[in-house]
Chain A
Amino acid sequence: MLVGRPCACLQSGPLTKMRIPFQTSFKAIFRNRWFYILAAPTLIYFVVFKYGPLWNAQIAFKDFKPLLGVMGSPWSGLENLDAFINSFYFSDLIRNTVIFSVAKLVLGLPLAIVVAIALHETVLKRMRTFVQTVIYLPHFLSWVIMFGILLAVLSPGSGLINDIIRSFGGEPIAFLTSPEWFRQVVIFSDIWKETGWATILYLAALLSISPELYEAAAVDGASPWRRIWHISLPGIVPVIVLVTLLRLGHIMDAGFNQIFVLYSVPVYSVGDIIDTWVYRQGILQFQFSLATAVGFFKGVIGLGLIFSAHQIAKRLTGQGLY
């Protein structure tokens, strides 16, 4: 990522290279046995809890019957995936998922950059620390708590915004349950919660810009606005590119926890995303194979997107995402 490996140079020093010819690989493994013993519990954990589900994912291509089990159920090829792609909800789900991801990115990212630049430019150091403390906090709140906060602000009966609307003589709006408003609520509540946290990366990039550039600009008599435009912004472009690519790689993850807590039947048409649909079909409707096929499809697309984003990032900035 952004921080290099400080000791990579030390660890592949000439000493190790000289040793290798003198010992067999078995000896090397025996010499390092404690490392393998240390890693063993975690690796067993990975096999059971990460690769176990991967094994179960084969039911995406089967007609899964709980009584027959994962192995015993008959193969059905691409039938499940086919049923999903040709279903009438397919386009709705994809559209909602992409709308949420893209809107959060397009509206949230510029705001995070502006806040980071403001924090970097301010001469009031205490103010900077205070603002940082406050704006990072929402990142650590769960979506259930966020739901409570949103109710206090948006509920038609006692929400702050509706109190204001009423005081101007307007009709209260059921923001969380009306299809016209639900998307805005999802997008802006995410921006409210995560923008502060997103500034960390840009702030780090700003702080790593050489102070000499700013000194030179001051000597040349550049105005503060020009300084931001010609030094600060170009300095963080690589980070902006990396973050954008990473987010695009996760475009199919529109925020399951958030939608799951906030949505309700009246807003399914505008709020339902792939993950929430998988939950309802799989867990509530017992359509295990269909839901798994959709989850698998999403996983494959996600893997492809991340891989492409990684390749593009390598080409553009000379460093990959991971």
Chain B
Amino acid sequence: MLRSRTRDALGMQIFITLFLVIILLIIAIPVWRVIVTAFTPLDVYTKQGVPFFLPFDKWTTHAFEQLLTHSQFPRAMVNSFTITLLGTAISMLLTVPLAYVLSNHRLPGRGFIVILVLFTYLFNPGLIPVYLLITKMGLINNYLAIILPPAVNVTNTLIMMRFFEGLPDELKEASRLDGATELQTLWHVILPLSKPILLTIGLFYAVFYWNEFFTPLLYLTDSKLMPLPVLLRNILISAGFNEYVDYNAFSTSTIESLRSAGVLLTMIPMVLVYPWIQRYFTKGNLLGSVKE
């Protein structure tokens, strides 16, 4: 009896391990393919296409050099960093005070603010009304057109509000009794205690702005302002390929390598900050608030 149960448990563990390994492979193989494609040299490609395993001595960084030495790609990187930093700063400046105010359940008029905010979250009139607003404000070819419409994310605000609610009331009361204004309380008492949530939400916003490609495509007509995802999309759909990389008969890389190298270069900053975000949601602080 007991033996059969241990055998059952062992059988299940083997089954689960196999299943998880298969899941890992399904995620990893496409990414591996992108990596190999980016590093495959021209001569290997013309002979056999992209191999599954590329011999170590064959790996080449030509595609990366070709992208990074052309003026467009580095500029797009700088543009992306600008949008990401400016966007995250503006988002945090608008989100933190709102979350703090909403965390005060005794505030007269709190219900009104909640309705004002939540309604815009539940009813979305679509793309065109926002487009008309942006064009009317003259924000075409201005990064604010990309940053402002999505600047306050309701889910992020609620996560932050929950965190502020969880801070001990005594701290706020003590600060108030010392004669501090709410702004001072927020700045000197609340925010220093809220570093983990500020970092997490900040990184959520940063990832969002880094990934934005549709609104830059919509609102930036000047190709000098183009951020990375838009450039990458143009490279991927081969629209005006020669505008963005030196690709000609003398090219030392294939189109496929250049595309994959572009994908990796766009991914890298994200993969670098990812462990910082991941730390918080595996710990469970954010569990339950993440529904989308």
Contact = CB atoms under 8 A, between A and B. Distances in A.
B19 to A, nearest CB: 5
6 contacts: A7-B166, A49-B151, A119-B20, A140-B277, A295-B127, A299-B125
How many A residues are at the interface, by size bracket? 35 or more
Given A8-B165, A29-B108, 11 more contacts: A6-B166, A25-B108, A49-B151, A57-B125, A118-B19, A132-B278, A153-B30, A160-B52, A261-B233, A292-B129, A299-B124
A3 B286 CA distance: 9
Contacts of A246: 291
A181 interface: no
- Give the interface SS of chain A, mostly helix, strand, loop or mixed: helix
A114 B15 CA distance: 12
A50 B183 CA distance: 26
Given A2-B287, A127-B20, A42 B8 contact: no
A221 B5 contact: yes
B12 interface: yes
Given A121-B12, A137-B271, A39 B30 contact: no
A282 B108 contact: no
Contacts of B86: none
A14 to B, nearest CB: 13
B128 A122 contact: no
B287 A42 contact: no
A288 B106 contact: no
Given A34-B183, A160-B30, A163-B50, A282 B127 contact: yes
A54 to B, nearest CB: 6
Interface of A: 1-3, 5-8, 10-12, 16, 25, 28-29, 32, 34-39, 41-43, 45-46, 49-57, 59-60, 70, 114-115, 118-119, 121-124, 127, 129-138, 140-145, 147-153, 155, 157-158, 160, 163, 192, 196-197, 200-201, 204, 207, 221, 223-225, 243, 246, 256-257, 260-261, 275, 278-279, 282-283, 288, 291-292, 294-296, 298-300, 302-303, 306-307, 321-322
Given A43-B113, A144-B266, A275 B127 contact: yes
Interface in B127-157: 127-133, 148-149, 151-152
B94 A223 contact: no
Contacts of A50: 120
Interface residues of B, number: 100
B189 interface: no
Interface in B254-286: 256, 259-260, 262-263, 266-267, 270-271, 274-275, 277-278, 281-282, 284
A192 B126 contact: no
A314 to B, nearest CB: 16
B198 interface: no
A11 B132 CA distance: 43
Contacts of B52: 160
Given A2-B287, A131-B20, A158 B128 contact: no
Given A12-B105, A46-B116, A46-B117, A148 B8 contact: no
Contacts of A124: 17
Contacts of B152: 42, 45-46
B136 to A, nearest CB: 8
A250 to B, nearest CB: 8
Contacts of A57: 125-126, 129
Interface stretch (B58-66, B67-75, B211-219): B211-219
